[in-house]
């Protein structure tokens, strides 16, 4: 509780005590030797809790700056204005912030979006082109592998080609004798063998012809010239056989090895080219994908920045969305920004206006720790407004804090108070109740019937924590206490109905009349 409120409460309680003493008047108060006394009586005693607080709207809307940067106020609705349902319907402007700098940035952001859009389209088309190029290069490499494989199959046949496709033979010349040999090589071998067979046949025929001619020559039936001709033919057939056999040997040892190596190497190179083409395709595809993702991210970022800028520009104008009473928010003193007004700089998320709903009001009070257990939600309370003397309002407790308030933690750490909310009944239709008005709340806790009670100030407490009063003759009377309010405390034992007690302890040496 603030110090001023606590002082007001004390003064109010003291005034109430004097009023009660005046009421009991002659029956309960006597002057004995200049000492103030009180006569103990049995009667009813109201247990109430009385505290002061300030009026506030039960529902209040905070108008804050939703712009993501600090801007100055250009226009602001006058404090104390009442925002009606008609104002909400017409979209009445509450606050307008300076958006000129944001308007200047809008053109740049829009240009950035269009540039990033063009780059994104380029990346998308580039990805399609790269996919097509990759497919073409891979198909071309695959065709080269297929052609080279066909050449190998054509050279040595299907069976032998399957056996040597993975690894080149160390003795290529031996493949010509392989039983699975086929293809062009097999045909060439057959042709060479046929040529040799023909050459041998011609050679044999020439030999027989020469032998026959020699016999005729020996009998002088043919001339020397015919004999020489047959001898020459024989020599020619011998050379032809040698040549044919040499061609087969050359084919076996050189030509076949050369063609096989070339064909196998072509197939191997085609396979490596295919592997390279696939690797290059994957690499370029990854680069194109990464470029596209970067362009997409840049485009989304540009669109987001543009959207945020447009949103900030739109949020520079704050319109009424709910009726209420305009109250400027007071910035914390540590900000050193001064009061809210046109020209003030407003930070992002800073509250500019509080818009309380005046139709339903309440009071927030601080209940001391000693009395907090007497309070419960749903209890009724009587409320008076300092600015409206003579008027009384009825309220209901709606909320009681579970933990003590930290408001007085530094100024008075020993004083623990609990924040309690009291809602006024009825509708503040005329708007006479305004936030900040000082109100006094009296909460009726309990009414005790036929109990003994004495003023609070007449009860003393010794060092052992025992309570006592002084009788009229100055004698100490130990008492047991019950419930209390701000003025009286219940006596459960130690005094009787009609006993006279002193309001204050007697001074040393004083005597009291009996």
Residue 433 sits at φ, ψ, to 5 deg, of -85, 125
Structure tokens at 356: 């309380």
Is residue 32 in a domain?
yes
The answer to whether residues 29 and 128 belong to one domain is: no
| Cβ-proximal residues to 321 (8 Å cutoff; 6+ apart), any chain | 61, 88
3-state class of 514 per DSSP?
A: coil
**Contacts of 256 by beta carbon, 8 Å cutoff, 6+ apart:** 172, 173, 175, 176, 185, 188
**Distance in angstroms between the alpha carbons of the first and the last residue of the chain:** 44
How many domains, in total, are found in the chain?
A: 2
pLDDT by residue (tens digit) across 423-465?
Answer: 988 776 566 788 888 999 988 888 889 999 999 999 999 999 8
Residue 411 lies inside a defined structural domain of this protein:
yes
267 three-state secondary structure: helix
Average pLDDT over residues 188-217: 93
Tokens 């490499």 map to which residue? 141
Query: For residue 34, what pLDDT band results from cuts at 50, 70 and 90?
Result: low
User: 10 Å Cβ neighbour count for 30?
Assistant: 14
380 shares its domain with 297: no
In a domain, 69, yes or no: no
Beta-carbon contacts of 275 under 8 Å, excluding residues fewer than 6 positions away, are: none
How far is 282 from 156, CA to CA, in rounded Å?
35
pLDDT for res 411: 62
Q: What is the mean pLDDT of residues 472-493?
A: 89
Q: What is the pLDDT of residue 512?
A: 42
How much of the chain, in percent, has pLDDT values that exceed 70? 89
Output the pLDDT for position 513. 44
User: How many Å apart are CA 61 and CA 327, to the nearest integer?
Assistant: 10
In-domain check, residue 95: no
The domain in which residue 399 lies consists of 3-59+357-502
Closest among 62, 112, 60 to 350, alpha carbons compared: 62
Q: What's the mean pLDDT when you consider all of the chain?
A: 85
The C-alpha atoms of residue 283 and residue 281 are separated, in whole angstroms, by 5
Q: Which of 308, 324, 345 is the last residue of a domain?
A: 308
Region of residue 354 (phi > 0: left; psi between -120 and 50: alpha; otherwise: beta)? beta
Can you say whether the dihedral through the CA atoms of 121, 123, 124, 125 is positive or negative?
positive
Q: Which of 308, 325, 340 is the C-terminal boundary of a domain?
A: 308
Residues 36 and 171 in one domain: no
**Could you report the per-residue pLDDT of 223-274, keeping only the tens digit for each?**
889 989 999 999 999 999 999 999 999 998 899 899 999 999 999 999 999 9
Can you give the pLDDT at residue 410? 61
**pLDDT on residue 32:** 47
Same domain, 9 and 141: no
141/228 same-domain check: yes
* 266 and 385 within one domain: no
8 A C-beta contact, residue 47 and residue 445: yes
Tens digit of each residue's pLDDT (9 = 90 or more) over 93-112: 999 999 999 999 999 999 99
Two structure tokens written together for 56:
């506030």
Angle between helices 256-315 and 183-218 (to 10 degrees): 160
Task: Give strand ranges (E) for 91-178.
Answer: 93-97
pLDDT at position 1 over 80: no
Characterize 281-293 residue by residue with b for buried, 16 or more Cβ atoms within 10 angstroms of its Cβ, and e for exposed: beebeeebeebbe
pLDDT score at 10: 39
| pLDDT at residue number 336 | 66
pLDDT band at 15 (very low <50, low <70, confident <90, very high): very low
Global pTM? 0.55
> Residues 311, 316, 322, CA angle at the centre, nearest 5°?
100
- Tokens for 283, please give them: 């690499």
| 166 shares a domain with 250 | yes
Output the domain CATH number for residue 13.
2.40.30.170
Q: Name the DSSP class of 303.
A: H
Residue 352: inside a domain: no
Q: Are 99 and 313 in contact (CB under 8 A)?
A: yes
> How do residues 268-317 score in pLDDT, each as one tens digit?
999 999 999 999 999 999 999 999 999 999 999 999 999 999 999 999 99
* 329 falls within a domain: no
Distance, in Å, from the CA atom of 443 to the CA atom of 425, rounded to the nearest integer, reads 14
DSSP state of 265: H
Q: Helix, strand, coil: what percent of the chain each, to 5?
A: 45, 25, 30
Gap between the Cα atoms of 287 and 135, Å rounded: 16
* 289 and 370 inside one domain: no
Token look-up 């602001």 returns 76
The enclosing H or E element of 72 equals strand 71-76
Same domain, 52 and 146: no
Same domain, 443 and 365: yes
Structure confidence at residue 169 (pLDDT): 72
Pair (222, 363) in one structural domain: no
Give domain status of residue 88, yes or no: no
> Rounded to the nearest 5 degrees, what angle is found at the Cα of 482, between the Cα atoms of 478 and 485?
115
Last residue of a domain, one of 285, 308, 331: 308
Domain membership flag for residue 320: no
Whether residues 48 and 193 fall in one domain:
no
Cβ 287 vs Cβ 131: under 8 Å: no
Residue 407's pLDDT is what?
Answer: 63
pLDDT of 408 = 60
């Amino acid at each position: 509780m603030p110090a001023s409120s606590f002082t007001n409460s004390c003064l109010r309680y003291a005034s109430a005590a004097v009023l009660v003493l005046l009421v009991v008047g002659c029956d309960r108060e006597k002057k004995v030797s200049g000492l103030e006394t009180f006569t103990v009586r049995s009667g009813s005693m109201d247990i109430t809790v009385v505290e002061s607080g300030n009026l506030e709207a039960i529902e209040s809307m905070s108008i804050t700056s939703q712009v993501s940067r600090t801007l100055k106020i250009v226009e602001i609705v006058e404090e104390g204005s009442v925002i009606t349902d008609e104002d909400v319907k017409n979209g009445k402007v509450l606050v307008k912030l300076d958006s000129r700098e944001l308007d200047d940035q809008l053109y740049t952001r829009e240009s950035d979006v269009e540039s990033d859009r063009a780059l994104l389209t380029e990346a998308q088309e580039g990805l399609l082109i790269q996919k097509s190029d990759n497919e073409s290069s891979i198909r071309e490499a695959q065709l080269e592998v297929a052609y080279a494989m066909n050449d190998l199959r054509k050279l040595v046949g299907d069976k032998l080609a399957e056996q040597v496709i993975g690894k080149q033979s160390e003795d290529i010349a031996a493949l010509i004798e392989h039983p699975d040999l086929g293809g062009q090589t097999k045909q060439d071998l057959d042709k060479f063998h046929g040529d040799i067979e023909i050459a041998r046949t011609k050679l044999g025929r020439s030999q027989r012809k020469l032998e026959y001619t020699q016999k005729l020559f020996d009998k002088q039936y043919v001339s020397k010239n015919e004999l020489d001709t047959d001898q020459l033919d024989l020599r020619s057939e011998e050379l032809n056989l040698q040549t044919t056999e040499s061609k087969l040997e050359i084919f076996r040892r050189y030509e076949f090895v050369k063609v096989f190596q070339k064909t196998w190497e072509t197939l191997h190179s085609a396979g490596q080219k295919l592997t390279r083409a696939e690797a290059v395709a994957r690499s370029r595809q990854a680069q194109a994908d990464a470029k596209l993702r970067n362009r997409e991210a840049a485009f989304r970022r540009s669109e987001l920045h543009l959207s945020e800028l447009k949103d900030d520009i739109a949020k520079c104008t704050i319109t009424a969305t709910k009726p209420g009473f305009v109250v400027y928010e007071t910035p914390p003193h540590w900000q050193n920004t001064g009061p809210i007004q046109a020209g003030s700089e407003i930070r992002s998320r800073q509250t500019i206006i509080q818009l309380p709903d005046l139709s339903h009001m309440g009071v927030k009070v601080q209940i001391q720790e000693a009395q907090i257990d007497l309070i419960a939600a749903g209890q009724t309370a009587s409320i008076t407004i300092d600015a409206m003397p003579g008027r009384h309002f009825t309220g209901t407790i709606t909320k009681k804090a579970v933990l003590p308030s930290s408001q007085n933690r530094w100024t008075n750490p020993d004083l623990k108070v609990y924040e309690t909310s009291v809602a006024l009944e009825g509708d503040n239709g005329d708007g006479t109740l305004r936030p900040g008005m000082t109100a006094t709340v009296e909460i009726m806790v309990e009414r005790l019937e036929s109990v003994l009670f004495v003023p609070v100030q007449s009860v003393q407490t010794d060092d052992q924590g025992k309570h006592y009063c002084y009788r009229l003759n100055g004698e100490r009377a130990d008492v047991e206490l019950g419930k209390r309010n701000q003025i009286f405390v219940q006596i459960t034992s130690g005094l009787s109905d009609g006993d006279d007690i002193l309001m204050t302890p007697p001074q040393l040496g004083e005597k009291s009349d009996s």
